[in-house]
């Protein structure tokens, strides 16, 4: 399973990259706004800055247009910024049409805001490189987001769909482990959830004892 970081914060992206386990980055308009980036040029520069940190992974940059022509125009500009940019397109009717157009024209896409198997099937048929089911937001409504990952894994494997299942809206470290169990191709996670995987009290206790005993033969 590939690890993407789900943030537009450059320091966090750098920290995850320095760990040596980062395969890419996802952003969205809310994450960009959180970083206080304002204006078209600043947004474009920020995407390039991200690409310059994670030089060997895909970077999702989301369109904010909702009509076919607008999505295409915006997506072309984003894709031209860097070879690693993947155009993130919402799961709406014009979005599906745009994903197919981008696929036919050699531009890779990430279909976002996916909450059902039906939506995922449409995005896969249109040729999305990545499909992003939002686990945490499904959980928030009282349904089981992880069930969706299991369902998509079964359908995509059975049907031979090429799109990668990119588990998104990750809220904790257990989500990451469960995504790995369910066969997600990619998990995009906040930095805290990635770092949470490091933690175990027995590791801390064991290390303290090893370091104490090491003093005996220093
Ligand atoms: C990533 O591609 C999604 O935009 C993101 O994971 C959404 O996460 P949230 O539900 O925590 O906002």
The per-residue pLDDT for range 153-208, each reduced to its tens digit, is 999 999 999 999 999 999 999 999 999 999 999 999 999 999 999 999 999 999 99
Judge if the beta carbon of residue 187 lies within 6 A of ligand 1. Answer: no
Judge if the beta carbon of residue 188 lies within 6 A of ligand 1. Answer: yes
- What does the pLDDT read at residue 218? 84
How far, in Å, is the centroid of ligand 1 from the Cα of 10? 17
pTM of the predicted structure, to 2 decimals: 0.96
CA contacts within 13 A on the Cβ side of 153:
18
Query: Stretch 56-80: mean pLDDT, rounded?
Result: 98
The answer to whether the CB of 102 falls within 8 A of the CB of 77 is no
Q: Nearest Cα to 46, choosing from 88, 16, 17, 82?
A: 82
Judge if the beta carbon of residue 193 lies within 6 A of ligand 1. Answer: no
Four-CA torsion 91, 93, 94, 96, nearest 10 degrees: 60
Q: How many helices (H) and strands (E) does the chain have?
A: 11, 8
Atom 11 of ligand 1: nearest residue by CA position: 169
Residue range 190-201, pLDDT digits in tens: 999 999 999 999
If you ran DSSP here, which 8-state letter would residue 91 be given? S
Structure tokens at 122: 């449409």
Task: For residue 98, name the pLDDT band (cuts at 50, 70, 90).
Answer: very high
């Amino acid at each position: 399973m590939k690890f993407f970081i789900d943030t537009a914060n450059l320091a966090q992206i750098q920290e995850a990259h320095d760990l040596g386990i980062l395969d890419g980055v996802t952003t969205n308009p809310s994450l960009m706004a959180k970083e206080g980036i304002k204006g078209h040029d600043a947004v474009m520069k920020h995407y390039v800055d991200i690409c310059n940190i994670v030089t060997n992974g895909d970077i999702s940059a989301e369109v904010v247009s909702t009509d076919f022509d607008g999505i295409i125009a915006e997506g072309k500009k984003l894709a031209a910024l860097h070879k690693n940019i993947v155009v993130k397109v919402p799961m709406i009717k014009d979005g599906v049409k745009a994903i197919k157009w981008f696929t036919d024209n050699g531009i890779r896409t990430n279909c976002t805001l996916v909450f059902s198997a039906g939506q995922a099937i449409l995005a896969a048929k249109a040729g999305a490189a990545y499909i992003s089911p939002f686990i945490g937001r499904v959980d928030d409504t009282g349904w089981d987001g992880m069930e969706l990952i299991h369902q998509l894994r079964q359908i995509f494997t059975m049907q031979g769909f090429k799109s990668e299942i990119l588990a998104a809206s990750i809220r904790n470290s257990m989500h990451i482990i469960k995504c790995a169990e369910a066969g997600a191709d990619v998990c995009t996670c906040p930095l805290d959830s990635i770092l949470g995987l490091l933690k175990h009290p027995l590791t801390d206790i064991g290390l303290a004892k090893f370091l104490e005993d090491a003093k005996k033969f220093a």
